[in-house]
Each structure stands twice: as structure tokens, then as C-alpha cells.
């Protein structure tokens, strides 16, 4: 059996049941192989599963808060991690948070920026244009708004564990964001990423200019960083795990040996089959065959 179906339950809401495992085993022609976390995560060994079959398996558990990820048995543990930041490693959309903090100075700016963010993440407008347009709305606002937003950064569950566990296994870890270095530097330090890359906001003294340094780090640049990191490590794209939630993550999600959509926008969920819809970033470790006893904090 050359494939693995990993079932992960939302441990705050439920536990995996024998019926969950039996249902997936029957539909895949597989068998339970390993318990990765009692009541939370299990591997089911199977032969190759077609997209239609995988859809049927997922549909069978549609009323259960259980994620199902499909991986190859070969080269399962990845040696490179490239992760998005906003709404992936952190719960925040940091540019939206900057704008929300400016509401008292410029009423309506919060929703104006958030609306463009939603369009961009759903792939309705190109990322570079959306970023320039959103940043332009910040012109002449105090740069201290970044400090206010940074104070409210909230790591998603499992963020530190994902990075620490993969680094302990020798993986190169990079945070690559269409957001700003002001935030990626802080999140990278909190999680232990080896490197971080993002856009730079321009300011004159203590005032934002409403511009971002060119070139804008967008979807193609994320893919370029992935390719660079893989090549520098003497590896291939199949050795990489990428994880993200928005349309600007799609190129790197498509290219990696394992691309995972994390609580993603509809345009991403439609295209990326390996998805974390119910659970936490811990599931990206279970999908690689890590047991909970392997986790590092």
C-alpha cells in the first residue's frame, strides 16, 4: 500500500470513533496502520486514491469535524517548510489590523481595507494591485499603528509546535508573507523560523507614506523563495511542505510535494485537495506521519 489517509479530529469538539475509521477504511480499501494521537489522529494505509474516491471519503464524514489528508508513503516527512503568515501562522490579517487601529483617525478605513483584503484572498483582484491600493489608504497615518497591531498578534494553535518539530528533524523553515517584515520578524522569532521574507512599508519619520517598497512580494515571489530554499538545501520540490490560506499562496501550494490549504478561502479549497478545515496546524505534522510523542514545543 503506497498511500496514507490521515484522519485528524478537532479535539476540542470530538474524538475519532471506530465508525470514522471503519468508514474511511471501507471506502479506500485500506486498513488502520498507526494511531498518531489517541482519539485525535490515525493513519490508514491504502492504495492510490482517485480524486473522485477521495471526494467520496470526505463526503462520508462531512458532518464530522474531522480533517482527512492524503499523502504518499514515499518521502512523507518533508525537509523544507514554507508557510504563509496572515490567517495561517497567526489568526490576524495584519494589514486589516493596522487599518482597524486607525478608525478613530480615519473613520471607515477599517472596512475599506478589509473589503479589498477579502477580494484579494479570494482571487478576485491581483495581489500586487490590492496591496498597493490598501497601503495607499494608510498615507499620512502614524507608524505607531504597526506597534499597536503587533501587540495583538495571536499565534494559531500548533504554530510553534509545527516549526519546532520540523526543525528538530532537520527541516529548513521559512515564513514567506505578502504582509510586512515588521510582523514577520516578530512571528518568525516567536515560532523559531530559520528565515522570514515579506514586504516593507515605507515611512517618513513617524508617518506612513502610503507606499510599499518595490517589487511587491506576491504569489510568484513566494514560489521563487520556495524554489530557492529547496535548491540551496540540495533538495527537490517534492521534499517541501507549503501551507497557506489565500489565492496568493496557490503557486507555492501547487508546486510543493505537500501543499496544505489551512482554513482556506473558497478559491483555494476548490483547488487544493489536502486541507485543514476543522483542526489546527498540528495536522500538518500528523500528515507527515509524526506521532504526538514526536512533537516538540
Half-sphere CA count of 97, side-chain side, radius 13 A: 21
Among 20, 67, 84, 96, the active-site one is 84
Per-residue pLDDT tens over the stretch 99-150: 999 999 999 999 999 999 999 999 999 999 999 999 999 999 999 999 999 9
In the sheet that holds 172-180, the strands lie side by side as 195-199, 172-180, 80-83, 240-244, 258-262, 275-276
**Predicted pLDDT at 44:** 98
**Predicted pLDDT at 148:** 97
Q: Which CATH superfamily is domain 77-93+155-297 in?
A: HAD superfamily/HAD-like (3.40.50.1000)
Q: Is 84 a catalytic residue?
A: yes
**Predicted pLDDT at 251:** 98
- What is the CATH class of 1-74? alpha beta
Q: Domain boundaries in the chain?
A: 1-74, 77-93+155-297
Among 20, 43, 86, 96, the active-site one is 86
Q: Is 10 a catalytic residue?
A: no
End-to-end CA distance of the chain: 32
Report residues of the chain scoring pLDDT below 70: none
Amino acid at each position: 500500500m503506497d498511500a496514507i489517509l490521515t484522519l485528524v479530529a478537532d479535539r476540542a469538539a470530538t474524538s475519532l470513533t471506530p465508525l470514522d475509521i471503519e468508514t474511511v477504511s471501507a471506502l479506500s480499501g485500506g486498513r488502520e496502520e498507526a494511531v498518531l494521537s489517541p482519539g485525535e489522529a490515525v493513519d490508514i494505509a491504502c492504495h492510490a486514491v482517485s480524486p473522485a474516491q477521495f471526494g467520496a471519503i470526505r463526503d462520508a464524514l462531512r458532518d464530522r469535524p474531522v480533517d482527512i489528508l492524503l499523502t504518499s508513503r514515499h518521502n512523507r516527512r518533508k525537509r523544507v517548510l514554507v508557510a504563509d503568515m496572515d490567517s495561517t501562522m497567526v489568526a490576524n490579517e495584519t494589514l486589516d489590523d493596522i487599518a482597524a487601529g486607525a478608525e478613530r483617525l480615519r473613520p471607515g478605513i477599517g472596512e475599506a481595507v478589509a473589503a479589498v483584503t477579502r477580494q484579494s484572498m479570494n482571487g478576485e483582484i491581483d495581489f500586487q494591485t490590492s496591496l498597493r491600493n490598501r497601503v495607499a489608504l494608510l498615507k499620512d497615518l502614524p507608524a505607531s499603528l504597526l506597534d499597536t497591531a503587533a501587540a495583538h498578534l495571536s499565534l494559531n494553535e500548533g504554530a510553534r509546535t509545527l516549526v519546532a518539530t520540523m526543525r528538530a528533524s532537520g527541516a529548513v523553515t521559512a515564513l514567506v508573507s505578502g504582509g510586512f517584515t515588521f510582523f514577520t520578524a516578530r512571528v518568525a522569532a516567536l515560532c523559531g523560523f530559520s528565515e522570514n521574507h515579506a514586504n516593507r512599508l515605507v515611512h517618513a519619520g513617524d508617518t506612513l507614506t502610503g507606499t510599499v517598497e518595490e517589487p511587491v512580494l506576491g504569489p510568484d515571489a513566494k514560489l521563487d523563495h520556495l524554489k530557492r530554499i529547496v535548491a540551496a538545501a540540495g533538495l527537490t520540490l517534492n521534499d517541501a511542505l507549503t501551507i497557506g490560506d489565500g489565492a496568493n499562496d496557490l503557486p507555492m501550494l501547487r508546486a510543493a510535494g505537500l501543499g496544505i490549504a489551512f482554513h482556506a478561502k473558497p478559491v483555494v479549497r476548490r483547488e487544493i485537495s489536502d486541507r485543514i478545515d476543522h483542526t489546527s496546524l498540528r495536522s500538518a505534522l500528523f500528515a507527515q506521519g509524526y506521532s504526538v510523542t514526536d512533537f516538540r514545543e
